[in-house]
């Protein structure tokens, strides 16, 4: 392999695409060619940044796709003089670096989009599964043979209904006519454990008629409360309760 040929192998070397004998010869060349050594460092840094930008392992075929793109680009081998690499060689290496970086950027972007689409689909499936599971649990509480029901008035003419099943260790809360909370706020439910309020989930602020399976076990809770909290909820009540209701016995 001539010295001129070695100058064109920086991209393949960074991608670990050289045969063992070619890699050994090129590494010997790096020791005496500062220009190639600098280009290898720059390409390696580019590959590292692109890799960090895509939080997913690329498919095995991706490497071959990149290599095919690189090999399809025509590159002029540089002419070597005794004193310095002429401008044509620099243009050749610059073209090689540009083509490789473009291929890697396209591959990274493709991988990022594919990962995003896969993640979106996965999240949607998980959300649907959780919603279905909660709906099934709510139905089991409402249909339990030991279900106890109690209804009370809420502010602004709304009504709230508590459904308790000790056999399932769960409680549900149903509302009718409940006005939407203020902008940036949400209704939060609480279990009343001997005067200590335990978070029991959030209600959909866009829905006035709710049927909510309260989060967590019923245990020894004697009742529940509902407060208005900042969006996302609070670990402890930050406002006076709109209502405090005892569980039916």
Phi first, then psi: give them for residue 173, nearest 5 degrees. Answer: -135, 125
| Residue 85, both tokens | 């690499």
- Distance between CA atoms of residues 133 and 166, nearest Å: 19
Confidence of residue 185 (pLDDT cuts 50, 70, 90): very high
Q: Note whether residue 140 is domain-resident.
A: no
Position 137 scores a pLDDT of: 83
DSSP symbols for 15-31: TT-S-HHHHHHHHHHHT
Does residue 106 sit in the same domain as residue 158? Answer: no
Q: Note whether residue 132 is domain-resident.
A: no
Q: Note whether residue 202 is domain-resident.
A: yes
pLDDT per residue as tens digits for the range 4-57: 677 778 777 766 667 788 888 888 888 888 888 888 887 766 555 444 444 445
Q: Note whether residue 129 is domain-resident.
A: no
Position 206 scores a pLDDT of: 79
Structural domain boundaries enclosing 187: 148-246
Q: Write b or e for each residue in 208-226: b if 16 or more Cβ atoms lie within 10 A of its Cβ, otherwise e.
A: eebbbbbeeebeebebbbb
Tell which wins on pLDDT, 116 or 207.
207
> For the chain, how many structural domains are there in total?
2
Does residue 96 sit in the same domain as residue 18? Answer: yes
Q: Note whether residue 136 is domain-resident.
A: no
- Whether the Cβ atoms of residue 85 and residue 35 lie closer than 8 Å to each other: yes
pTM over 0.85: no
Does residue 109 sit in the same domain as residue 169? Answer: no
Q: Note whether residue 103 is domain-resident.
A: yes
Tell which wins on pLDDT, 247 or 7.
247
Highest mean pLDDT, choosing among 26-35, 224-233, 240-249: 224-233
């Amino acid at each position: 392999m001539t010295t001129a040929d070695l100058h064109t192998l920086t991209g393949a070397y960074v991608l670990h695409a050289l045969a063992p004998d070619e890699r050994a010869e090129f590494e010997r060349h790096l020791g005496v060619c500062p220009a190639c050594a600098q280009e290898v460092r720059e390409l390696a840094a580019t590959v590292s940044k692109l890799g960090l930008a895509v939080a997913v392992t690329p498919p095995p075929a991706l490497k071959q796709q990149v290599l095919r793109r690189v090999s399809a680009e025509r590159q002029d081998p540089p002419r070597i003089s005794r004193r310095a690499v002429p401008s044509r060689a620099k243009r050749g290496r610059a073209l090689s670096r540009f083509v490789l970086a473009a291929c890697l950027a396209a591959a990274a972007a493709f991988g990022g989009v594919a990962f995003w689409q896969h993640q979106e689909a996965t999240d949607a499936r998980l959300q649907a599964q959780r919603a279905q599971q909660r709906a099934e649990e709510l139905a089991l509480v409402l249909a339990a043979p030991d279900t106890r029901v109690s209804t009370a008035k809420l502010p602004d003419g709304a009504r709230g209904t508590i459904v308790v099943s000790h056999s399932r260790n769960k409680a549900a809360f149903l509302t009718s006519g409940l006005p939407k909370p203020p902008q940036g706020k949400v209704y939060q439910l609480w279990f009343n454990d001997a005067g200590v309020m335990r978070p029991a989930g959030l209600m959909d602020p866009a829905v006035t008629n709710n049927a909510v399976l309260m989060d967590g076990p019923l245990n020894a809770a004697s009742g529940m409360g509902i407060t208005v909290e900042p969006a996302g909820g609070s670990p402890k009540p930050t406002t006076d309760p709109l209502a405090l209701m005892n569980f039916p016995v």
